[in-house]
Amino acid sequence: MALAVPATLWLLVAFAAPMAIVLLLAVQESPDPFAPISLMPSLAQFAAILGDSYYIETIASTILLGLGVTLAAATLGYPLALWLARLPAQWRPYAFAIVLIPLLTNVVVRSLGIVLLLAPDGLVNGLLSPLGLGRPQGWLFTHFAVGLALTQVFLPFMVLALYDSLVQADKRLDEAAASLGASRIRRFFAVTLPLSLPGLRAGLTIVFLLASTAYVSATILGGKKVWVAGMIVWQEALTNLNAPTAAAMAVIMLVWGIAFAVLAERVVRVLTPWLQKAGAKPFAFELPPELARRLVALGDAAGGIVARVLLGLAIFLLIFPLTLVVVQSFNDVPQASVAGFRAFTFKWYAAAFDASTYLRDARNSLELALISMLIALTLALPAAFALVRAEFPGKGAVAAFWMLPLALPHVAIAVGMLRLLQWFIAIPPFWGLVMVHVVVILPFCISMLRTSVLQLDRSLEEAASSLGATRGLVFVTTILPNLAPGLAVAGILAFLISFGEVTVTSFLTTARMQTLPVRIYAEASFSLEPTVHAISALTIVGTVALLAIVNRFVKLDRVWAR
Amino acid sequence: MISRRRLLAASAGATLASPAIFGLNAVAQIRRGDELVVGIWGGAQERITRQHIVRPLEEKYGVKINYVLGGTPERRARAYQERGRPSFDLIYLNIFESRQAVRDGVTQAPAIDRVPNAKNLYESAKLGGYGVAFNPVTVVYDKRKGEVTSWKDLWKPEWKGRIAWPSYPGAQGTAALLMVAKLFGGSERAIDPGFAKIRELKPFAAIQGSQDQLYTMFDQGVADISIEFGSFTRSYAESRNPNIAIANPVEGQVIATNVACPTVGTKNQALVEAFIDLHLSEACQMQYARDIYYSPTVSGLNIPADLAPKLVLGADVNKLVDFDWDHVIAQQAAWTSRFNREIAG
């Protein structure tokens, strides 16, 4: 019970207020920005949204898009996560770079990469045209384009969530199944997949919530022809200064986000009886034996090829925008949007190193991300133990509360924070941003670490205790080393999300405290110059170097390979 | 605490620098150590204003000028939230946002007598604050595919299915909608003809949401014609795509302005006005014109002959098509929902 306190307290202080304001705004009748807040709740906004077929269609297509992206991320994520988990330890950091690079690349730049891919003379059209599936307009400005961009953006989250589960899984189970004559495809479906279900739950939840609330990629790839709910929240809140309608839409998004998270939770719980308390009913379903035999035969014949194709696709999708980043960062063009290569130049790097601006912002971003990550991990670790091992009244409600910041669109958090600006400005700018960033990344950390704690081998702890180790010693010598991969993955994710956060931060930056992504976003709002690509390229090189150095000195393989 | 002597010296300096503030109370004087917060766009505009405004002011008065970069929606939302107790001293808005902000008591109407360079402003740049740049909206097209001399050319068969229509709301989308309504018997108060005629142009190749997006569409051959800022498009055509032409339609281009808006309740009135004064100075206006083809909002500059044809100057400024922006902004929510359903859907 005490374990649940730190995370809950933090969210109560930093998140409950903006959340309450969003709820309060959603039940206002008048959209006037200067109207006094009325305490008489009115359902006028919800009635207006749910009574309008255009909004209903947008909501439905947003949910479908979110589900599609989640499915695509899982399909592409499994082969990639398995490949990562089975790679020799010395190569792992470099392979990790493949997953992390997209997360390090500015989302605007990534979306421009997808534009290039889907353009009329782009690769996708080139491949599909001979099949008679080409389109004169290319594949831009369709739901497919938006879905592809979102898959590219959120695939790394799925891979990291699965990776943790797969690395933790007991290798001996797979070996035992193999020795009993199970083919690879049967081992995947009977051993690997079930064991990784907790990770899959975290991945599905995170990807769905992110994909169904995103709006930046949808704006770029949808060309305003494809509308998602997040875009409506943004437009109502900012362009029309109509916070009540925006808040009501955000609340509707919140409801479906929580519904999805609860559903994923229930399904995985039923499918993983060995992780539940004793007496849980095992879940089993039998296919007709003839059908099962044929399916296995088909799987064995095609499984390897399909897995390789999916792995290739996943890597290509993640890496493709990178080539664009590198090419554009040396390209002498006035705007960053894609064009042919005109002339080689170093000027974007010169601009990126212009000490007065980017470097200072980059340092702000680094410090902010690092401190937010450390705080979030510190809060999330006891929270994860509370979820997995403690029993206390209202546990379900607390768990749902912790996930709220992930289910509420960032733009809605921003709207809530806007109303609190007067108080917020009184806080030192850096710590104010840390408060909010921790709120944004905490659900990811809790979700990831919960999977890791769930898969801890309790017998190791019992052995250590029986040998006379104190609880503190057990924690340091047994639990922490076993949690290392989970902590590393959660930490990396948290760091990168904080490092790239724009939506909420752009409302809270003050003149003395600006982050790098907010600056890039500000430039993009006027006209994007390739400096963005130079910065992205530098960030990527820096990360790969960092991973290599860490690998050299910390000997990650000791910790990670079990 | 500032010593009395320093205060006297500073205020004497400030008074000499701008006699116009003589007689204002002490709060409105520029003092050493004052900090100004300005909300402005990034990119070229940040660079130019830092060079011509921030550096000279900081050197001259010993003040500190901080920028909060971003687009107008975020700034505007914050300024509305902080009405009367602003964290910004000065925000830059577009033409219709600025006039609405004055009406809503968020930003100040211009005080032409207190800003020396403001007396040269064109009349249309004195509304909703101080216009610092004209950036008119017009038809831009691929000249290999046809010729455009009138807004009505958009309905010619050669453009069918090749149009990237600008999204609404936004400066370009608003200009396009109002202009079409005006051409076909409507006005900002009778918008139906606008929607009806735009519907006739469907299917669109795309709906474009920003100039960067449009140029990508041109590069990729997705569309051949759109409605956009002439200034950016000229930069793009000169540097990347010589096939793109900027039309000068007989009906005129639609006015769009970047406006400097002092907030209501700023504690740095005199410094804000000094800032705006420098933004309207010849050096800054010329740099805007040369670097990004923004047309000056002050008359009487010496524009070189090679640059003049690329800008909107003198009598042409008065030909820019203007609308009742107060009414336009009041209709925005309703028109947005119509646009999403009838045009983009």
User: Could you please report the per-residue DSSP string of B275-320?
Assistant: HHHHHTSHHHHHHHHHHH-PBPSBS-----TTTGGGS--THHHHHS
SS3 A167: helix
- Which tokens sit at B75? 């700034």
Would the CB atoms of A514 and B209 count as touching at under 8 Å? Answer: no
Nearest CA in chain A to B206: A223
For A363-414, what is each residue's pLDDT tens digit? 899 999 999 999 999 999 999 999 999 888 888 889 888 989 988 888 888 8
What percentage of chain B reaches a pLDDT higher than 90?
Answer: 74
For A337, which of B87, B212, B341 is closest by C-beta distance? B212
For A335, which of B104, B167, B236 is closest by C-beta distance? B236
In this structure, the dihedral spanned by the alpha carbons of residues A537, A539, A541 and A544, taken in order and rounded to 10 degrees, is -140
- Position B85 scores a pLDDT of 87
- Position A434 scores a pLDDT of 93
* pLDDT averaged over every residue in chain B: 90
Would the CB atoms of A511 and B340 count as touching at under 8 Å? Answer: no
Would the CB atoms of A523 and B78 count as touching at under 8 Å? Answer: no
Q: DSSP class of residue B253?
A: P
Least Cα distance to A80 among A166, A191, A145, A153 occurs for A166
For A275-306, what is each residue's pLDDT tens digit? 776 666 666 677 788 888 888 888 888 888 99
The distance of A275 to chain B (nearest Cα, Å) reads 47
The distance of B75 to chain A (nearest Cα, Å) reads 8
Chain B residues close to A112, C-beta within 8 Å:
216
Would the CB atoms of B76 and A238 count as touching at under 8 Å? Answer: yes
CB A499 within 8 A of CB A362: no
SS3 B67: strand
Burial (Cβ within 10 Å: 0-12, 13-18, ≥19) of residue A47? exposed
Q: Are strands B64-69 and B35-40 parallel, antiparallel or unpaired?
A: parallel
CB B117 within 8 A of CB B281: yes
- Position A281 scores a pLDDT of 67
Q: At residue B138, what are phi and psi to the nearest 5 degrees? A: -150, 180
- Position B173 scores a pLDDT of 95
Would the CB atoms of A525 and B80 count as touching at under 8 Å? Answer: no
For A406-459, what is each residue's pLDDT tens digit? 888 888 888 888 888 777 777 888 888 999 999 999 999 998 899 889 888 888
Residues pairing with B91 in the sheet? B39, B261
- Position B250 scores a pLDDT of 94
- Position B151 scores a pLDDT of 97
Residues pairing with B226 in the sheet? B140, B164
Would the CB atoms of A119 and B222 count as touching at under 8 Å? Answer: yes
Rounded CA Rg of chain B: 21
Per-residue burial over A350-375, b = 16 or more CB atoms within 10 Å of its CB, e = otherwise: ebbeeeebbeebbebbeebbebbbeb
Give the integer Cα–Cα distance in Å for B224 and A443: 46
- Position A356 scores a pLDDT of 64
Give the integer Cα–Cα distance in Å for A448 and A493: 9
Q: What angle do CA A406, A407, A413 make, to 5 degrees?
A: 75
Q: At residue A516, what are phi and psi to the nearest 5 degrees? A: -65, -50
CB B272 within 8 A of CB B150: no
- Position B272 scores a pLDDT of 97
pLDDT band at B13 (very low <50, low <70, confident <90, very high): very low
Would the CB atoms of A333 and B240 count as touching at under 8 Å? Answer: yes
Q: Are strands B64-69 and B130-134 parallel, antiparallel or unpaired?
A: unpaired
Chain B residues close to A241, C-beta within 8 Å:
76-77, 80
SS3 B90: strand
For B81, which of A235, A421, A519 is closest by C-beta distance? A421
Would the CB atoms of A523 and B43 count as touching at under 8 Å? Answer: yes
- Position A525 scores a pLDDT of 65
- Position A270 scores a pLDDT of 87
For B48-65, what is each residue's pLDDT tens digit? 999 999 999 999 999 999
Give the integer Cα–Cα distance in Å for A275 and A272: 6
- Residue from A106, A123, A124, A224 to probe the interface with B (highest B Cβ count within 10 Å): A224
More confident call, B121 vs B14:
B121
Give the integer Cα–Cα distance in Å for A452 and A183: 28
pLDDT at B3 over 60: no
Give the integer Cα–Cα distance in Å for B6 and A45: 57
Give the integer Cα–Cα distance in Å for A536 and A520: 10
Under 8 Å CB pairs connecting chains A and B tally to 164
CB A362 within 8 A of CB A368: no
- Position A339 scores a pLDDT of 56
- Position B8 scores a pLDDT of 45
The dihedral built from the CA positions of residue B328, B331, B333 and B336, taken in this order, carries a sign that is negative
The distance of B160 to chain A (nearest Cα, Å) reads 13
Range scoring the smallest mean pLDDT among A12-26, A169-183, B76-90, B253-267:
A169-183
Which stretches of chain A drop beneath a pLDDT of 70? 277-284, 334-340, 355-356, 510-512, 525-527, 550-562
Chain A residues close to B46, C-beta within 8 Å:
522
Would the CB atoms of A509 and B221 count as touching at under 8 Å? Answer: no
Amino acid at A550: V
Element (DSSP H or E) covering residue B134 = strand B130-134
- Position B112 scores a pLDDT of 95
- Position A449 scores a pLDDT of 92
Would the CB atoms of B71 and A522 count as touching at under 8 Å? Answer: yes
Give the integer Cα–Cα distance in Å for A432 and A423: 10
Q: DSSP class of residue A280?
A: P
User: What global pTM score does this model have?
Assistant: 0.88
Chain B residues close to A121, C-beta within 8 Å:
220-221
Would the CB atoms of B43 and A115 count as touching at under 8 Å? Answer: no
